[in-house]
Structure 1
Amino acid sequence: MSTSHTSEAKFFDLHTTGIGYLNRIREVKPRGKGKPFMAVAIAALHGSTDEVEYSYIDCNVVGTDAEKLIRRCQEAVDAGKKVLAGFRIGDIWADAFTYEKGDKKGLPGASLKGRLLFISWIKVDGETVYEAKPKDSVDPDNSDRDSARNSPISDVPLHQSA
């Protein structure tokens, strides 16, 4: 919980961490008012490793670093590669809807939604292509220019060219 002794708003955080496959990376342009935003569907893994189960979570990408990483993953996802990532999602909620087409037309449905806040690592087809640096690894002697050049987003290419 974040609190303050001033008149700032108080709130509770609900964070979910796990690993899952990235799917349906897209830029969403809201109808009417609102800024476009990145979205991704995550097939989160849970259960026994012998009988893995998936929960699908549709996420708005809200972290700046997360957005850069998701954009870099889009080509691999679109090419059908298996992109697995460690993630932190905030404020998961269920969204009720009615199917508009297909065999389930007219039936009620529900989907999980959330806000993708952080990506801790990414593997493309089993090869690690990104790992977040621990917060403690920042060298206080580096200038801002050096820190930007050595940021974890630019350290490792997302996937190798064939």
Structure 2
Amino acid sequence: MTTQTQQNYFNLHTTGIGYLNDIRKVTPKKGNPFLACRVSALTGDASNPEYRFFDCNIVGGEAEKLIERCMNAVNEERKVLISFVLSDLWTDTYIVSKDSKHHKKGDTAVSLKARLIRVKMIKIDGEVKYVEQVRKSEQPSSDAKTKESVSEDKGSF
């Protein structure tokens, strides 16, 4: 008889809506290359929102495909709004290297970091380009409307 040990995890997930910026491929000195981006999450009163900025590593095949498809639109400085799920939030402190509107050189600053694990919706310049299929476990009824998954389409938006 064999015994298997199942590992248990505590998951901290953050959901929101925000603008996608600075999509890039990161190649570390040690480790594998990965896709990263910055999400400017909207918070507060919808008529006068504030932003929270998250530097994200994109994790998971579907999320990577979707973010890669947004790269051209982001590079063209179009407004790319996403509904997202982040996990494993953490902070990183750094010393500011030059004066800016928010910090002076030498100040200690904080960066919010997370893993972007899921994209639920993408709008580019106000036009819906993608809506995630409702998962069977989340589907409220059998007549829920869904759009096609993006998995098979490899082009950009």
**TM more than 0.5:** yes
Preserved CA contact (<8 Å) 1:93 1:114: yes
State the Cα distance separating 1:153 from its structure 2 match.
Answer: 2.9
Task: Report the secondary structure of 2:152's partner residue.
Answer: helix
Question: Could you state the TM-score of these two structures normalised by the residue count of structure 1?
Answer: 0.81
Contiguous gaps of at least 5 residues in structure 1: 138-149
Instruction: Give the structure 1 partner of residue 136 of structure 2.
Output: 136
Note closer, same or farther for the CA distance 1:156–1:85 as it changes in structure 2 (3 Å cut).
farther
State the Cα distance separating 1:155 from its structure 2 match.
Answer: 5.7
Q: Distance in 2 between matches of 1:58 and 1:106?
A: 21
Question: Could you state the TM-score of these two structures normalised by the residue count of structure 2?
Answer: 0.83
Preserved CA contact (<8 Å) 2:19 2:82: yes
Contiguous gaps of at least 5 residues in structure 2: 138-147
Instruction: Give the structure 2 partner of residue 59 of structure 1.
Output: 56
Task: Report the secondary structure of 2:9's partner residue.
Answer: coil
Q: How many residues align?
A: 142
Name segments (4+ residues, structure 1) moved above 4 Å: 155-158
Q: How does 1:1-162 map to 2 (within 5 A)?
A: 6-31=4-29, 33-103=30-100, 104-136=104-136, 151-154=149-152, 158-159=156-157
Instruction: Give the structure 1 partner of residue 140 of structure 2.
Output: none
Task: Report the secondary structure of 2:151's partner residue.
Answer: helix
Q: Distance in 1 between matches of 2:4 and 2:96?
A: 46
Preserved CA contact (<8 Å) 2:69 2:154: no
Q: Distance in 1 between matches of 2:156 and 2:126?
A: 12
State the Cα distance separating 1:11 from its structure 2 match.
Answer: 1.6
Q: Match of 1:97, as an amino acid?
A: Y
Q: Distance in 2 between matches of 1:30 and 1:59?
A: 15
Q: Percent identity?
A: 45
State the Cα distance separating 1:93 from its structure 2 match.
Answer: 1.1
